[in-house]
Structure 1
């Protein structure tokens, strides 16, 4: 059997590889109880084996034309969402997805059989069951470009929860407008006198990181300082990293730091407090979003929240519109919720 095929396959291709008629392939795919009973088990198993090994996905357009909508919405997560340390972060997304699916009369199917390859889940594997669902939502901080490209090539209906760069074609998504939100909070800091600014985070890799850094640069200029994200290993290492980051900020006379990960912002505030440094009197700390890992704190940060519940809900609506052929705008950005907070004040001497 040849290697898995990544280009668009048809039922005719499957029939050729399995050495059966196209009608036989169609009957097996549709799981017709009256017809499959007349197909020998060996033939049926041979067809299914070819389907598994090629990763073939049934043409969703053909299924819609024959009214074979299952009213099943698939959800695939590239990170474990429950139970896990990131459960609190993903819960609002899932709550929005559930609310909208219930309203539209969909059943939800969480794909959990995907194996972990090189530390990451992969949606395409030998036993993937994508075609059980009419379409799928994708959740995850980073989604492999090659998997997005394959979904697009095979015309499988999907929507990414979160903005994604093109992958051989436009990726349908519902994301958060991190660029505008970050630019707004930076401009606010500048309006009250801050001139020495820093961005704390990778600023690249995931689209959400790149978008935040782009918004920061648009407002602060390319000469503004960028410092790396904190280590995410043990609590002791995180505390040490926060202290080292604080040293860099103080050495550069930074008066306002914009932190990509809220948990890192909390660690910086705690490190400053341990040294008797006043936040925000001596250093303003702005949180650019919500914590993706446990970071208990009652501190009301200036910055913004990600519209997670709304993103999940709108993603379901977009997928339904794609399946129904009623939506042409397949890329949606929702505004973030700006928060006044108490961690940004004018710098001393402004």
Structure 2
């Protein structure tokens, strides 16, 4: 029995010829966004009609013109975030995105290229590699990671492309949609050592000026490891400082790759899986709106008592910190 004849996939050149327009026009209509609004309505209707021709298989972007959705959501990571094991800092984020995407009835596409030639991948990832928004083959995108390029966020805003960030970010070009941890619980975490009699609290943070870092005192970034949170303990240990007898550290965040050999820090724990899942939910809500408005919900953090904050030493002990 002869195999069934394989239908030839329509190209933008084919669609342009059938619709009587240029390839550039087809690209603008398929890409959508603010640029496509300048194209006459009859032309915008002719392009998707030309994509549906018997005997040809239109590509996914052209098919999406007929029903308005392709049904994939994108996940763009600004740096490598895939976990090495289930204790990895990024793992809950990825699980949250996957679970909520499936629950919403979408498929998930991962965007991780940086525009480099094959075999020469760089360390920074670009959304607009080669001057083109690579995310447009998805209906919308969740953006995850710490090494954010603000100029690219501004470009997405100008294009009108729907996206939601995991964690708060700001740009001058307009309001962004994001889901962030509600760090108002910081006050409660500070109150705990104060309740135990500590008169002095040291504010320690990573050496950068980003929105999440300003939002809370001690931030453990996804790209960091335990060296940041363990460094003060190691250094203090050389001076014979005891924890928590002499000094009581508390974290505004979870240490990455927590394992039992590390102390169970007193901390404010952000719900990473829930935050990422809510980003997907917000993205779908934006896609369902005719004129979407930026959304910026927050997710409460959980206070973890841990064992790293203790009572103030007796008068004969070291000065409390």
Q: Same fold (TM over 0.5)?
A: yes
Report what 2:82 is aligned to.
82
Between the aligned partners of 1:333 and 1:185, the Cα distance in structure 2 is 18
1:167-186 superposed matches below 5 A: 167-178=172-183, 180-186=184-190
Task: Give the structure 1 partner of residue 36 of structure 2.
Answer: 10
Two-structure CA RMSD over aligned residues (Å): 3.8
Count of matched residue pairs: 270
Query: SS of the counterpart of 2:89?
Result: helix
Match in the other structure for 2:308 = 343
Alignment of 1:203-222 (within 5 A): 204-213=208-217
Question: Helix, strand or coil: the match of 2:284?
Answer: helix
Counterpart Cα distance in 2 of 1:26 and 1:299:
64
**What residue number does 2:231 align with?**
267
How far the C-alpha of 1:118 sits from its partner, in A, is: 8.4
- What residue in structure 2 maps to residue 145 of structure 1? 150
- What residue is the counterpart of 1:91 in the other structure? 91
Cα displacement (A) at 1:291: 2.9
1:72 aligns with 2:69: no
CA distance in 2, matches of 1:296, 1:147: 40
SS at match of 1:122: coil
Contact residue 86 and residue 294 of structure 1 kept, 8 A: no
| Cα contact 2:189–2:267 (8 A) shared by 1 | yes
Relative distance call for 1:129 and 1:192 in structure 2 (3 A) is: same
Cα distance in 1 between the residues matched to 2:178 and 2:301: 16
TM-score (ref. length: structure 1): 0.66
Q: 1:92 to 1:31 in 2, by over 3 A?
A: farther
2:55, 2:230 → 1: CA distance?
Answer: 60
Q: Are the counterparts in 2 of residues 265 and 285 from structure 1 also a CA contact under 8 Å?
A: no
The 1:328/1:35 distance shift into structure 2, 3 A limit, reads same
Q: CA separation of 1:85/1:211 partners in 2, compared to 1, >3 Å: closer, same or farther? A: farther
Correspondent of 1:135 among 134, 140, 160: 140
TM-score w.r.t. length of structure 2: 0.71
**Equivalent position of 2:272 in the other structure:** 308
Q: Which residue in 2 is equivalent to 1:239?
A: none
